[in-house]
């Protein structure tokens, strides 16, 4: 799990009736991060500051949420949680929490009038643990679906996580899988196929997530790892990164273990593959 990376904590808030929720990853102090969007329909918050040329390098939390763009409001509660604890980017006023958010479209499942907001984001923070946490249709994945490019292949998605260790190096992934494409299991290969226009009931998708590592990376190297995370999505989802997906991945460096960026990127891609499969296994 991504919580195998020291200092990373994950918590969920879930509405099992409305089938929506949010998942929060709280990161240790001085975490460096970058990110990349490859889907055609993203819903994101604070994404521009992840670019390597932006001045703010550290982030405090990543929020994955259902509720489409409405669900980005969950990050407000995460900011309140962090502010109360003195966590954030130092300013003359005081710390300003840097909370990056991404949302998936689940409004057609359950009750679309219920969306995660500030209180729900705060509750997910309170539930955060550095140990095992629930996978499957919980948190941001409560109303997720995969295989939506062909209605007859649609099935529940969810939240998944996995990690890979190599000596002292740990790379973990956390994903909320609500993909237009299908999840490929081990041994399956993507086949060439005509990708149809979705019906209105199957038009909203997205896989969003975080790769975290205890490797010592700078912000530009984190971008390389985020790009590798999308390579992982392309290996396990078919089709991936369509115009109907809002695929967005963050990569975060939390530690000081020496490792090449290519090693971290490679391990991160495979951690994403296993995390996506874990999301639907539950």
How many secondary structure helices (H) and strands (E) does the chain include? Answer: 4, 14
Class of domain 2-281: alpha beta
In the prediction, which pLDDT does 198 show? Answer: 57
In the prediction, which pLDDT does 119 show? Answer: 98
Rounded distance between C-alpha atoms, residue 219 and residue 53, angstroms: 9
Alpha helices in 22-99 (DSSP H): 74-84
In the prediction, which pLDDT does 66 show? Answer: 96
In the prediction, which pLDDT does 184 show? Answer: 83
**Helix/strand/coil percent split, the chain, to 5:** 30, 30, 40
- SS3 state at 209: strand
Return the C-alpha torsion angle 120, 125, 126, 131, nearest 10: 130
Rounded distance between C-alpha atoms, residue 189 and residue 267, angstroms: 20
Q: Dihedral of CA 11/16/250/132: which sign? A: positive
**Quick one: which of 177, 176, 125, 121 has its CA closest to 148?**
177
pLDDT over 90, % of the chain: 79
For residue range 223-272, what is the model confidence (pLDDT) as tens digits?
999 999 999 999 999 887 888 788 999 999 999 999 999 999 999 999 99
How many angstroms separate the Cα of 105 from the Cα of each of 123, 146, 155, 270?
Answer: 21, 12, 15, 25
In the prediction, which pLDDT does 147 show? Answer: 84
Q: Are 97 and 87 in contact (CB under 8 A)?
A: yes
Rounded distance between C-alpha atoms, residue 271 and residue 249, angstroms: 13
In the prediction, which pLDDT does 40 show? Answer: 83
For each of the chain's 282 residues, which pLDDT tens digit applies?
999 999 999 999 999 999 999 999 999 999 999 999 998 888 999 999 999 999 998 999 999 999 999 999 999 999 999 999 999 999 999 999 999 999 999 998 989 999 999 999 999 999 999 999 999 999 999 999 998 766 677 889 999 999 999 999 999 999 999 998 888 888 666 654 555 565 555 556 789 999 999 999 999 999 999 999 999 999 999 887 888 788 999 999 999 999 999 999 999 999 999 999 999 997
Residues in the chain: 282
**Quick one: which of 152, 58, 159 has its CA closest to 106?**
159
For the chain, domain boundaries? 2-281
């Amino acid at each position: 799990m991504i919580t195998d990376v020291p200092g990373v904590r994950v918590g969920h808030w879930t509405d099992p009736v409305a089938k929506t929720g949010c998942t929060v990853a709280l990161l240790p102090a001085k975490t460096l991060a970058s990110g990349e969007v490859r889907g055609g329909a993203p819903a994101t918050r604070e994404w521009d500051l992840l670019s390597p040329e932006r001045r703010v390098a550290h982030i405090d939390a990543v929020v994955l949420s259902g509720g489409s763009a409405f669900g980005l409001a969950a990050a407000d509660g995460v900011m309140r949680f962090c502010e109360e604890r003195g966590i954030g980017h130092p300013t003359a006023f005081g710390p300003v929490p840097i909370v990056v958010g991404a949302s998936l479209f689940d409004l057609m499942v359950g009750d679309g009038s219920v969306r995660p907001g500030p209180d729900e984001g705060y509750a997910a923070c309170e539930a955060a643990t550095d140990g095992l946490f629930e996978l499957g249709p919980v948190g941001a994945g409560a109303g997720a679906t995969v295989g939506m490019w062909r209605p007859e292949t649609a099935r529940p998605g969810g939240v998944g996580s996995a990690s890979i260790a190599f000596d002292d190096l740990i790379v973990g992934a956390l994903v909320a899988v609500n993909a237009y494409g299908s999840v490929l299991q081990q041994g399956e290969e993507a086949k060439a196929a005509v990708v149809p226009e979705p019906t209105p009931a199957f038009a909203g998708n997205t896989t969003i997530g975080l790769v975290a590592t205890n490797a010592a990376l700078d912000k530009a190297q984190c971008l390389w790892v985020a790009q590798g995370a999308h390579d992982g999505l392309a290996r396990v989802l078919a089709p991936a990164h369509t115009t109907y997906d809002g695929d967005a991945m963050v990569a975060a460096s939390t530690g000081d273990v020496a490792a090449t960026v290519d090693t971290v990127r490679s391990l991160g891609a495979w951690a994403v593959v296993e995390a996506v499969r874990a999301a639907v296994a539950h």
